Structure 1
Amino acid sequence: MRKLLLPSIIIIAAILLLIRIFYLQVINDTFKLKSENNAIKIQYEYPERGYIFDRNGKLLVANQASYDIMVIPREIKNLDTLEFCRLLDVTKEDFLEKIAKAKIYSPRLPSVFLPQLNKSEFAAFQEKIRKFEGFYFQKRSLRDYEVDFGANIFGFITQVNERIIEKQPYYKSGDLIGKQGVEEYYEEILRGVKGVKYFQKDKYNRLIGSYKEGKYDTIAVQGEDINLTIDAEIQRYGEQLMINKRGGIVAIEPKTGEILALVTAPSYDPGILVGRQRSKNYTLLYYDSIAKPLYDRGLLAEYPPGSPFKILTGLAALQEGVIDQHTTVFCRHGFSYARGRFMGCHCQGGALQLHRGIYQSCNSYFATAYMKTINKYTKPSHAIDVWSKHIKSFGLGQFMGYDLPTGRRGNVPDSKTYKRIYPNGGWRSTTIVSNSIGQGEVLMTPIQLANMMAAVANEGHFYTPHIIKKIKGGSIDTKFKVKHETTISKEFYKPIIQGLFDVYNLGTARALRVDGIDICGKTGTAENFTKINGKRVKLEDHSIFVAFAPKDNPKIAIAVLVENGGYGAAIAGPIASLMIEKYLRRKITRTDLEKRILEKSLNDRYAKLGGMKEANAIESTPKDTIRKYNEAKTNSVIDTTKKTN
């Protein structure tokens, strides 16, 4: 028996192997279809991407037909290269480079030779394509933008690269994929499903019919349409107000967390990233290191929040019981003294309680409230962690979980922060008092500022900000329905909200009132420094404003930040008032504010700053990068600092 065991195992293994081979080669053809099979031609049918609408059903992004010229290098025969290049307006050098690249990908499989021909280019080449063996057309669907705004929201579509193909086998050479914005985040929903047809070829490489009578063929399934939470009218209006300015605007519906507007400036027309000029235009945008039009300031830019942060300083102090509405702090007009620490102040001075401290934005009041919070505990390290927990409960200092592919944490300092900064200890409340007024180590993005105001408007809770409202045939992520509670008791929001309301009636924003709309807001002016030639240089302050309205039953919370804009009520404040009125009334009565903001340009400030930075950039930027940027700039008409409508 032992002598028969080994031969029996070998015979059984051989039989099983033969059965498996028979199954794969005769019964199951799927592996044959997936391989580079000379006898089978694979033809893909590409679906339309899903349409994109705003919250009110306005069409924002549709599709248009486009045609790629595909090449199978092995099938190229008797090609008149000069005529081919002339028809497609490509150089012989480009032709050879593209063919070489296609051969590297695969000599047998199709790859893109020339993408995104429009209808006229397609018609001219179609007449003679029979003369060019190895080349054929692949119809695809490109985006057709119905609006000239919202580029940062939509993102764009581009060809997949080899890295994506390796990671995601669904994609083949020449396929398109969403990048940035909702196109990237909702790619699998928007892209649909490719259809596939298999054709049998004879030994002469001629098509002789459908493979297996179409048994394995599939039809294309169009991508799902989606509705965004964006209000197209105020999104467009916000971008108009930010012409010739840099910064971000984020507006949120407090009751739901729905993002009503997400503005970054400078921006660009999304239509320039479609068609054969897409690459040149993208190169220009990408290498503009001064204006950074591809950089979404609403989501990525981290700024000191300035005086709006006093809202949280006050709430944390109330929660910790170190102040109440009647706690009085004395402030010297113009130069305050807060328990051993001098701090400049622009309020009217005198004895202030919480209410006046808010609407006059008294530095001394909130510095005192902050130090009382820290000094409540014996150990400053424990105190700062307690304070930090309160602040982080508003969604700050962390990724917020919204449905866009980019973002920043911001910064809320804790004991670990100061252990790094002061490894030998010795820090105390007076050392870190700048946090109280939104300076120091505190950093926030505009969307975090807007979410903070949504939480205040709701008196202690918020929903994760999101940009998806509806998916046709699907449902949105349930995490956007989850209520997040802050660590601050509801009772403490009432006096803060009253103070914010009187910012418009008695305080720093009284010139920005809109008759008939009860707005609660807070001005902010954040100090702004940069490094030039290794030296810390003070620049024009950032202008910041946060608000929500109406005071009762709030429908919009907003944050506006204008880089180098100066005092908060100068530029950011008027923009916030205008955006609120536009959303609530669909018209503008404060035409004086509108005229002032539309005519206001900060380009002279940016030009001065750009001149200083560009000198450094040229020294540290590779020559090849500068060459590409200059070439793109020469061949483009894009103006990223001014947008026409």
Structure 2
Amino acid sequence: MLENRKWVIIGVFCLVGLAYLARLFYLQVLDDTYSLGASKNSIKRVVEIPYRGQVYDRNNQLIVYNTPVYDLYVTPKQVKIPDTAAFCRMMNVSLPEFDSIMGLAKNYSPVKPSLFLRQLSKEDFARIQDALVDYRGFEPVISSMRTYPAHTLSNALGYVSEISKKQLENQDIVYYRQGDYVGHNGLEEQYEEQLRGKRGVKFMMQNVRGVNKGSWKNGAFDTLAVAGQNLITGIDVEVQKYADSLMQNKIGAVLAIEPATGEILVSVSAPTYDPNLLSSRFFSKNYRALIKNPYKPLINRPIMASYRPGSTFKLIQALIAQQQGSLLPTTVYGHAGSPMRCHCRGGNNLRGAVQNSCNPYFYYVFRKFLYFNGEHNTFKASAIGLRQWHDMAEKFGIGDRLGIDLPSETKGNLPTPEYYDKAYRGSLRWKFSNVYSLSIGEGELLISPLKLVNLAATIANRGWFITPHYIKGFGKAGVGLPAEYRERHETGIDYKYYLPVIDGMRGAVAHGTVTPLANIAGIDLCGKTGTSQNNKFGHKFDHSIFIGFAPMNNPKIAVAVFVENAGWGGKAAASVAALVAERYLKRKTEALKLDAQVKASNYLPPVTSLPGFKKPVAPKKDTTQQKPAPKPMMTATKPKPVMAAIISGN
């Protein structure tokens, strides 16, 4: 009985096995349905690039948006072109260009797609769309082109361009492909991860001619692209464009921030350029032209340029000296014994010294600060005093990076005792007489416009600041704002010590070193002028500087202006700052005479005086028939070097 059951079970298994074998034989040998389908169709993975996040100003005015375009990719191993000349005519490229592009594509990968042509408009793509069916290996991908309707803020925004080979190789997590676009410089680079969005993937069925036959599995495995987050900035575009107009025919920077929040309202780097130049198909050509421009418009001067702060640094001297106890608001210093020249009569107290920008006054303030430690050895006293000076000034954000949300911020220079030990080859080989130019913001001090506008905001707040930043939020204000742009930084200077300094700053605008036209009614501007030494490259004039805030009580805006080669700080820079503050506070310009003067002024130095300029070499003349030149009656002697006097730093 058991033996019969055994053979029954074996027979069942054999029948099942035979059934499977018969079915496999039918599918693989007799039925050609699947073989025909495999030969006619293939599954293609199509990556969907999301729209990049748009950029808005503080009033929801659009600064950057996306225009749909098409990028054409090529996979070299799949390429079949019956008539290369006809193909090049259709694509509007030359044969050498075609060979160059295909060579780069093959070097990247024969089997992977890489960029062939980018940013084809809808009209251009419509013209070639039908013809592309006859050319295997080419595929269009919908992309977008950054468009800048405001035509401003180019240096702060940065630009979007093709990813470099180095960036491709250095990816921690592989995301980008050759030919992809990525943010470079400015906010586009800083917030690349948020702006780029998340890619989607579609699986499409194609026949042997590359014609789409529909979605594979009805899109069951497709993922949708997620658009990038919109960036809300603190920029006021209306005031930004007005500040641009004031800086025409000038080199320099204008920065304005809201003191209570640290949000940047205006960011001008002059000379500037239209950001649309670097978002077109002609990126390379336009970029090369900007690189060759002798006035260097690609440099983001608000955060990358370093200047001597001039007399604006006297504000820090006054504050830290009061905190130390070596200076009282009633302290009076004259001019006697000071090696520095000055335009005022002397005999000022602290308020008057700030108002009139008295150089000898701050010479004595700095000297007393360094020697206030009680050390009798002159060299040791200077080192101890300078260390305390450095540590107190550093709390204003000087001498290090502030941490603004842009790449390439410069550090600047706030000298330390070690700095001079190295310069003078020993700790007991320098003293106050070697460093006294620091008292009026000259010497080895180097500060960016960003740090000076932050100083203005700190004084406006009476002792604290929030790190300046462009971002206001993602999607809407306050959403996604990093914690570091909410944190208050204290300077360690008591509130009461700011009051006489602010009185002096108001006096400087009302009846001090600022041109009278810049004392615009209704804005109550407080400020400090500066003239930064500029002894490089033979420039005739020094740099004009102004920092300030308005109104005096409950300030709404802090401003810093640098105008290179413009001379006196109370004229060029102060005028620009006053007009920017007026436009922001009043939403209109009433100081029309000052507006006309500023817009008519031209401080661009001649190209021949700029660093790097090379005078064209004239062809040699044939002198074979010329008579020898007569000998000169006398020979000129080389002048002996003289020590340059420190200029008036108002």
| Fold match (TM-score > 0.5) | yes
**AA partner of residue 162 (structure 2):** Q
Task: Give the distance between the partners of 2:154 and 2:278, measured in 1 at CA.
Answer: 9
Q: How does 1:77-96 map to 2 (within 5 A)?
A: 77-96=80-99
- 1:141 aligned counterpart, secondary structure: strand
Instruction: Give the equivalent residue in structure 2 for 1:413.
Output: 415
Task: Give the distance between the partners of 2:193 and 2:59, measured in 1 at CA.
Answer: 24
- 1:202: how far off? 7.7
Instruction: Give the equivalent residue in structure 1 for 2:281.
Output: 276
- 1:492: how far off? 0.6
Task: Give the distance between the partners of 1:448 and 1:330, measured in 2 at CA.
Answer: 31
Q: Does 1:600 align with 2:601?
A: yes
CA contact under 8 A between 1:118 and 1:275: conserved in structure 2? no
**AA partner of residue 286 (structure 1):** I
**AA partner of residue 129 (structure 1):** L
Instruction: Give the equivalent residue in structure 2 for 1:346.
Output: 343
**AA partner of residue 459 (structure 1):** R
Task: Give the distance between the partners of 2:219 and 2:60, measured in 1 at CA.
Answer: 39
- Cα–Cα, structure 1 residues 606 and 392, in superposed 2: closer, same or farther, change >3 Å? farther
- Most deviating of 307-316 and 422-431: 422-431
Task: Give the distance between the partners of 1:583 and 1:203, measured in 2 at CA.
Answer: 63
Task: Give the distance between the partners of 1:617 and 1:541, measured in 2 at CA.
Answer: 28
- Cα–Cα, structure 1 residues 577 and 202, in superposed 2: closer, same or farther, change >3 Å? closer
- 1:587: how far off? 1.0
Identity within the alignment, %: 39
Q: Does 1:314 align with 2:318?
A: yes
Instruction: Give the equivalent residue in structure 2 for 1:26.
Output: none
Instruction: Give the equivalent residue in structure 2 for 1:373.
Output: 369
- Cα–Cα, structure 1 residues 83 and 385, in superposed 2: closer, same or farther, change >3 Å? same
Instruction: Give the equivalent residue in structure 2 for 1:431.
Output: 434
Instruction: Give the equivalent residue in structure 2 for 1:638.
Output: none
Instruction: Give the equivalent residue in structure 1 for 2:622.
Output: none
- 1:615 aligned counterpart, secondary structure: coil
Structure 2: stretches of 5+ with no match in the other structure:
1-40, 618-650
- Cα–Cα, structure 1 residues 181 and 430, in superposed 2: closer, same or farther, change >3 Å? same
Q: How does 1:122-271 map to 2 (within 5 A)?
A: 122-168=125-171, 169-199=174-204, 210-211=215-216, 214-271=219-276
- 1:564: how far off? 0.4
**AA partner of residue 609 (structure 1):** S
* 1:403 counterpart (402, 405, 417): 405
Instruction: Give the equivalent residue in structure 2 for 1:641.
Output: none
Task: Give the distance between the partners of 2:608 and 2:513, measured in 1 at CA.
Answer: 29
- Cα–Cα, structure 1 residues 306 and 78, in superposed 2: closer, same or farther, change >3 Å? closer
Deviations 1:332-382 (A, max 9, x none): 6xxxx32xxx112122x2322111111110000001000100111222222
Q: Does 1:327 align with 2:331?
A: yes
CA contact under 8 A between 1:200 and 1:211: conserved in structure 2? yes
Deviations 1:206-240 (A, max 9, x none): 86765565443211111111210001011101111
Task: Give the distance between the partners of 1:234 and 1:310, measured in 2 at CA.
Answer: 29
CA contact under 8 A between 1:503 and 1:510: conserved in structure 2? no
**AA partner of residue 565 (structure 1):** A
- 1:383: how far off? 1.2
* 2:521 counterpart (492, 515, 518): 515
Task: Give the distance between the partners of 1:502 and 1:617, measured in 2 at CA.
Answer: 51
- 1:201: how far off? 6.4
Deviations 1:232-282 (A, max 9, x none): 011101111000100001101110101010100000111111221122101
Deviations 1:385-407 (A, max 9, x none): 11011111011111111111121
CA contact under 8 A between 2:202 and 2:219: conserved in structure 1? yes
- 1:79: how far off? 2.9
- When the two chains are superposed, the root-mean-square deviation of aligned CA atoms in Å is 2.0
Instruction: Give the equivalent residue in structure 1 for 2:60.
Output: 57
- Most deviating of 76-85 and 200-209: 200-209
* 2:385 counterpart (383, 386, 402): 383
Task: Give the distance between the partners of 1:76 and 1:420, measured in 2 at CA.
Answer: 64
Instruction: Give the equivalent residue in structure 2 for 1:528.
Output: 534
- 1:556: how far off? 0.5
Task: Give the distance between the partners of 2:211 and 2:329, measured in 1 at CA.
Answer: 87
Task: Give the distance between the partners of 1:136 and 1:160, measured in 2 at CA.
Answer: 20
- 1:64: how far off? 0.4
- 2:141 aligned counterpart, secondary structure: strand
Normalised by the size of structure 1, how large is the TM-score? 0.85
**AA partner of residue 559 (structure 1):** A
**AA partner of residue 313 (structure 2):** F
Task: Give the distance between the partners of 2:539 and 2:429, measured in 1 at CA.
Answer: 28
Task: Give the distance between the partners of 1:513 and 1:214, measured in 2 at CA.
Answer: 67
- Most deviating of 300-309 and 467-476: 467-476
Task: Give the distance between the partners of 2:577 and 2:201, measured in 1 at CA.
Answer: 51
- Most deviating of 550-559 and 74-83: 74-83
CA contact under 8 A between 1:229 and 1:260: conserved in structure 2? yes
Number of equivalent positions: 566
CA contact under 8 A between 2:133 and 2:209: conserved in structure 1? no
Instruction: Give the equivalent residue in structure 2 for 1:622.
Output: none
Structure 1: stretches of 5+ with no match in the other structure:
1-37, 532-536, 619-645
- 1:538: how far off? 5.4
Q: How does 1:585-596 map to 2 (within 5 A)?
A: 585-596=586-597
Q: Does 1:444 align with 2:440?
A: no
**AA partner of residue 546 (structure 1):** I
- 2:536 aligned counterpart, secondary structure: strand
Instruction: Give the equivalent residue in structure 1 for 2:357.
Output: 361
CA contact under 8 A between 1:367 and 1:437: conserved in structure 2? yes
Q: How does 1:486-565 map to 2 (within 5 A)?
A: 486-509=491-514, 511=516, 512-531=518-537, 537=538, 539-565=540-566
- Cα–Cα, structure 1 residues 93 and 262, in superposed 2: closer, same or farther, change >3 Å? same
**AA partner of residue 602 (structure 2):** S
CA contact under 8 A between 1:48 and 1:223: conserved in structure 2? yes
Deviations 1:107-160 (A, max 9, x none): 111111111112222122223112211112111011121111111121111011
Q: How does 1:6-25 map to 2 (within 5 A)?
A: none
Task: Give the distance between the partners of 2:256 and 2:616, measured in 1 at CA.
Answer: 34
Task: Give the distance between the partners of 2:197 and 2:130, measured in 1 at CA.
Answer: 31
- Cα–Cα, structure 1 residues 608 and 203, in superposed 2: closer, same or farther, change >3 Å? closer
Instruction: Give the equivalent residue in structure 2 for 1:298.
Output: 302
Instruction: Give the equivalent residue in structure 2 for 1:31.
Output: none
- 1:595 aligned counterpart, secondary structure: helix
Q: Does 1:99 align with 2:102?
A: yes
Please tell me whether Structure 1 or Structure 2 has the larger radius of gyration of its CA atoms: 2
Deviations 1:24-68 (A, max 9, x none): xxxxxxxxxxxxxx9652211111111111001111111101111
- 1:431 aligned counterpart, secondary structure: helix
CA contact under 8 A between 2:421 and 2:430: conserved in structure 1? no
